[in-house]
A and B are shown apart, each in its own frame.
Chain A
Amino acid sequence: MIVELGHYALVLAVITAFAQFVFPLWGAVSRDASLQSMARPSAFVTFILVGLSFGALTYAYISSDFSVANVVMNSHSTKPLIYKISGVWSNHEGSMMLWVLILVFFAALVALRGDGMPERLLASVLSVQGSITFAFLVFIVLTSNPFLRVGDPPPDGQGLNPILADPGLAIHPPLLYLGYVGFSVAFAFAIGALIHGRIDAVWARFVRPWTLLAWIFLTLGIAMGSYWAYYELGWGGWWFWDPVENASLMPWLMGTALLHSTIVMEKRDALKVWTILLSILTFSLSLLGTFLVRSGVITSVHSFASDPGRGLFILGILIVFIGGGLLLFALRASTLRQGGLFAPVSREGALVLNNLFLAASTVAVLVGTLYPLVLETLSGSKISVGAPYFNLTAVPLFIILVVLVPFGQSLAWKRGDLLGVMQRLLLAFGLSVLAALIILAFTTGGPVMAPVGIGLGLWLILGSATEVFMRVKPQRFDLRIMIARALGLPRSAWGAALAHAGLGMTVIGIAATAWGVEHISVTKAGERIAVGPYVVALESSFKRSGAGYREDGARFLVTRDDQASGALETSKRVHAGREMPTTEAGIITFGLGQLYASLNEILPDGRVSVHIYWKPLVTLIWGGALVMALGGALSLSDRRVRITAAERVLRSSVKNRGAPA
């Protein structure tokens, strides 16, 4: 019964989404206020219907309703509750449902917070969101319906893919989708503004919080996915330049560019045409990512069951929205009014450079991701584009960008004083270079890129610290004034500094991977294996069974300077009902580094073949991403970013004093 209701709500949502798409658009074009006013109610109703539908599907999973084909294939009655719930999006149909749920959630939020917005802009924006919802709902209903029943319900389900039976599944896809789909708001605002015909600083003020929110989630989602792959797949790596990873990296790069250009537009009313284009492109890359992952054109752990019909359908959606968006842009962009002027050496100029490098690296990643597909289609040659390609193209662009960040952060708006900025940054620069040189001297013969990368990371962190320090520094040193000023500093300033410092942490973590040590050995009990500063010795191998699996594993004792520092356990697990074994890596965190062991096999004579890694500073990679997201959240909490333009105008007319911004 509940499943039928969910199914019914889903079909009904197709209709309300269509209404949300058509009527407000009609109203916006014909300037009919009553048609425009349909936008908000229809967005709310669509959200409620999709929410009900998703709830019904979740209910079918929780109650282990094995008359639903989707539940049979992806769940099992003995699964813990968390895997029953996260099992909902462990498969193609359910993950598309989650995608749409988040889409309509954002549309409802836009509708909820739309009070200060011009009615016609709001109607256009919600209409665009309605059109995306409509397209994806039709896709679900026609090709990926999760509510289909089976004629003869089996007594139990087939269970979840063991790789996915992990808390990571509960967190990674929702975060990633909140990011991916969150950029649909910026897209809808861009298209809405092109329809509406007015784009100015107020528009940027509306868009910025949404872009920031999507960016925070995408940052967390990518970092979470990277860590999950690292501990779950047992390969010891955290990034593989796999097309699916690139599919999430591209919108992140473009979204980061968008985030920065929106600031220019909000503060200086410049770069309008470019910001609109970036909004369209960022969401286009999200759609492209969805297509790459969901269509099965690339094969990876993420491509669930795929059939060509679905791929073609998503390709159709892709072409309509990207093509339509760019066409509208081409037709209307010339009507946009020129914005504020700035000298090449200025904050704006620096942000243009930031955008250039981010866009260029996105193109490099895009080419590397799509080229194998294109080449195979055109010539039949099969190639693989891996780390060597990306290290030569995207990485140098990132490095130049990282060198430039502290300069841009310190330059003034409109016309900057490069010499003054260089003087202010001299200490940070000197310290970073000095640190790199000292490290280089102590690690002679080691990889050169590690000290260089650490210098770069420090440069970002110290550059951010300098920027904050310069803003709170009084004429004569006085700690109380400094604290007062630091507290008075806008949160967006702290946010930017924190986010850049977080990037610096990630850069340091990545650079230090060059010092990583790995050791594959076949070892007997008691044999000592030196891995970096640690000594690892096999204690025993074991067989045991746990909830729904049995495993063969090995236990290693870890010592450092003959002091016991812990134990590592790694195993091969075979899950009930599955042939496929999975490798469970053993990980111990020491300071910022990690010791990582991955079992190859236990030989009949009792020896154990094992792959052990020492990864110094590796946790900084993900820790840095967390700090970046925290910086974003701090910016988002800034009143100036959060409150809508109308409230702002209202407040400033009431209270027109206060500190200069």
Chain B
Amino acid sequence: MTRKQKRLSLIAAAGLVLAASAGLILYALNDRIVFFYTPSDLAKQVIGPGSRVRIGGLVDVGSVDKSALPIIRFSITDGEAKLPVVYKGSLPDLFREGQGVVSEGIVTSDHVLQADTVLAKHDENYMPKEVADVLKAKGVWQGGAPK
């Protein structure tokens, strides 16, 4: 092979790998990302059955039901709308009624979030950023910004 052919074959290999990975990335960005909503967003939004969503808000006071442990039921509220959540798993250490929470899962046809992930704030000063933004926008929560 001449120098030019060698270089061309290298460039072709590089192009192939890069094109394939770009394709994968674009497909995955279309298909494998999860959008974040508040319960009231969700009420307005049309979401295909079985698609994954992230819901953020406050744990509704008085809604936590542990009577069927290890299955836990609670509601997420943003002051306007509420969304019931069903979750089987470990709750984070900072999960509390009235505190910020983000939960990920699938919304069923009867408007319940079948969650497989529940995240709470990381420490006393910290509220999940998505939740803090939303709640401030709605005027529900004014708390100290992450210090």
Contact = CB atoms under 8 A, between A and B. Distances in A.
Contact of A521 (B33, B70, B123, B124): B70
A356 B90 CA distance: 40
Contact of B90 (A306, A344, A383, A598): A598
B60 interface: no
Most buried by A among B9, B94, B122: B122
A384 B54 CA distance: 8
A383 B34 contact: yes
A593 interface: no
Contacts of A522: 69-70
Interface stretch (B23-31, B77-85, B105-113): B23-31
Contacts of A361: 21
A299 B129 contact: yes
Nearest to A574: B93
Contacts of A383: 33-36
Interface string B34-45: 111000000000
A299 B94 CA distance: 16
Q: Which applies to chain A's interface (DSSP): helix, strand, loop or mixed?
A: mixed
A384 B37 CA distance: 11
A347 interface: no
Interface string A284-317: 0000000000001001110001100000000000
A591 interface: no
Interface stretch (A116-124, A135-143, A386-394, A627-635): A386-394
A301 B122 contact: yes
A15 interface: no
B25 A367 contact: yes
B32 A389 contact: yes
Contacts of B1: 343-344
B70 A609 contact: yes
A296 B31 CA distance: 28
B130 A382 contact: yes
Interface string B66-104: 100110000000000000000011110110000000001
B140 interface: no
A396 interface: yes
A273 to B, nearest CB: 12
Interface string A343-369: 110000100110011001101100110
A161 interface: yes
A583 B69 CA distance: 19
A611 B89 contact: yes
B139 to A, nearest CB: 18
A600 B95 CA distance: 11
Contacts of B123: 161, 580
A86 to B, nearest CB: 18
B33 A389 contact: yes
A356 B12 CA distance: 12
B14 interface: yes
Interface string A321-356: 000000000000000000001111000010011001
Contact of A393 (B28, B122, B125): B28
A583 B93 contact: yes
A161 B93 CA distance: 14
A572 interface: yes
B3 A341 contact: yes
A344 B9 contact: yes
